[in-house]
Amino acid sequence: MTVLKSPRTAPGGSPAPPARAASRLPSPRRLDTRTGLRAAAIAIVALLAAAGLATTLGTAAQDSALGHAATRAEPLGVVTEEIYRDLSDADAAAAQVLLAGPESGTAVQQRYDSDIQRVSSGLAAVSADATSPSALDATGEIIADLPVYTRLVGTALADSRQNLPVGAAYLREASALLRTRLLSAARQAHDAETADLDGDGAAAAADPLGELALLVACVAALGLVQVFAFRRTNRMVNPGLAVATVLVLALAVWTGLATPAERGALARAAAHRQTADALVATELAAIQAHGDELLGLAARGEDLGGYERDFTSTSASVSRLLAADHGSGIADARAAQQDWLADHRNLVELETEPQADNSANTRALLLLTSPAAAGSGAVFARMDTDLRNAVETEESSYRTALGEAQSDLSGLASAAAVVAAVALAGAAVGINRRLREYR
What are the pLDDT digits (tens) for 181-196?
A: 999 999 999 999 999 9
**Looking at the domain assignment, is residue 339 inside a domain?**
yes
Confidence at residue 4, expressed as pLDDT on a 0 to 100 scale? 46
Is the alpha carbon torsion for 116, 119, 121, 127 positive or negative? negative
**What is the Cα 147 distance to its own chain's centre?**
33
What are the 10-residue block averages of pLDDT along the chain, 439 residues in total? 48 52 49 75 90 93 93 93 92 84 72 94 93 93 96 91 84 91 94 92 90 92 84 74 92 93 94 90 88 78 73 87 80 86 80 60 69 70 88 92 94 93 88 69
What is the domain count for the chain? 1
**Looking at the domain assignment, is residue 427 inside a domain?**
yes
Confidence at residue 195, expressed as pLDDT on a 0 to 100 scale? 92
**Looking at the domain assignment, is residue 223 inside a domain?**
yes
Confidence at residue 404, expressed as pLDDT on a 0 to 100 scale? 95
In terms of Cβ atoms closer than 10 Å to its own Cβ (0-12, 13-18, 19+), residue 37 is buried
Confidence at residue 23, expressed as pLDDT on a 0 to 100 scale? 46
* Residue 15 β-bridge partners: 9
**Looking at the domain assignment, is residue 18 inside a domain?**
no
304: left (phi over 0), alpha (psi -120 to 50) or beta: left
Short-list 245, 254, 257, CA closest to 217 = 245
**Looking at the domain assignment, is residue 16 inside a domain?**
no
**Looking at the domain assignment, is residue 26 inside a domain?**
no
Confidence at residue 81, expressed as pLDDT on a 0 to 100 scale? 92
**Looking at the domain assignment, is residue 403 inside a domain?**
yes
Residue pair 240/429 in contact by the 8 Å Cβ criterion:
yes
Confidence at residue 2, expressed as pLDDT on a 0 to 100 scale? 45
Q: Cα–Cα distance between 216 and 438 in angstroms, integer?
A: 30
Structural domain harbouring 221: 34-436
421: left (phi over 0), alpha (psi -120 to 50) or beta: alpha
Give the H or E element holding residue 197. Answer: helix 183-204
Could you please report the per-residue DSSP string of 73-127?
Answer: IHHHHHHHHHHHHHHHHHHHHHHHHHHHGGGGHHHHHHHHHHHHHHHHHHHHHHH
DSSP state of 235: -
**Looking at the domain assignment, is residue 17 inside a domain?**
no
Give the H or E element holding residue 388. Answer: helix 376-409
User: Quick count: other Cβ atoms within 10 Å of Cβ 243?
Assistant: 18
Phi, psi (rounded to 5 degrees) for 9: -110, 145
Helix-strand-coil split of the chain, %, nearest 5? 85, 0, 15
For the chain, how long is the longest CA-to-CA vector? 166
Confidence at residue 27, expressed as pLDDT on a 0 to 100 scale? 46
DSSP state of 219: H
Query: With a threshold of 0.85, does the pTM exceed it?
Result: no
Three-state DSSP at 42 gives helix
Distance in angstroms between the alpha carbons of the first and the last residue of the chain: 62
